[in-house]
Amino acid sequence: MEASVEVMVVEDDATVLAVVTDYLRGRGYGVTGVADGRAARDLLRTARPDVLVLDRMLPGVSGDDLCRQVRASAPLTSIIMLTALGAVEDRIDGLEHGADDYLAKPFVLRELRLRIDAVVRRSRNARVAPTPFELGPFRVDPASRRIWLGGTEMTLTTREYELFVFLLRNPDRTLTRDDILREVWGWSFGQTSTVTVHVRRLREKIEPEPRYPRYLLTEWGQGYRFTVEDAA
């Protein structure tokens, strides 16, 4: 991965912070290490890292609160939660706060690097500017990474944008969670609950009534299908 990738690591364990920052710097990343949530929040008022590696349990400002704040102010920053809370419920909770990925402690440094590379690659690939297109009430401008619903611009995180564009480019096709995990996240394996959480978040933004979706439908036992025909 190119040296232009900027990573901010927010971790209150001094040993973990030193090991992670030294490892990433040694492989060409630009790295800022921060030991508490309040200091990270202050830095992020002006800094815009490509990736934020964020511990959930932090002094000053919690990782969850920081994640929500970054999502509101810097939606193009990818967030990887790095935490000792590794249960499925904790992973889903972290994703609900807006994280793009989740890595539980103890972890392998190489896996962290690969996950950083994956979120950066997906983000940069999505910024390649093919022709704008429309589907039903949705209009997409890939050059600016913007999507409008009925003339109103939508507010989407990086991962929500990538997921939605993938769905828009595959209308009326049933996609399994593994399909989505592979094509949107770039993972050949992983927790499919990640997809479930992001689908739920996306529905809250595109559906008039998320409990009774018109566009993003669940095909029980199979996966999801995006359609504008059924909605009409």
- Tell me: pLDDT of 5 over 60: yes
- Tell me: pLDDT of 196 over 70: yes
- Asked if residues 207 and 227 have their Cβ atoms less than 8 Å apart, the reply is no
Q: Which domain holds residue 212?
A: 133-226
The domain total for the chain is: 2
- Give me the mean pLDDT over the 110-118 stretch: 89
Q: Are residues 110 and 139 in the same domain?
A: no
The pLDDT tens digits for 118-144 are 888 777 665 555 688 999 999 999 878
User: Nearest CA to 55 among 47, 45, 46, 65?
Assistant: 65
Give dist(CA 198, CA 159) in Å, integer: 8
Residues 6+ apart with CB under 8 A from 160: 198, 201, 202, 205
Task: Write down the pLDDT at residue 136.
Answer: 93
**Better pLDDT: 191 or 61:** 61
Q: Are residues 90 and 180 in the same domain?
A: no
The pLDDT tens digits for 42-72 are 999 888 899 999 998 888 888 888 988 888 7
The residue among 126, 158, 192 that closes a domain is 126
The residue among 97, 126, 155 that closes a domain is 126
The residue among 126, 152, 182 that closes a domain is 126
What is this structure's pTM? 0.62
pLDDT band of residue 3 (cuts 50, 70, 90) is very low
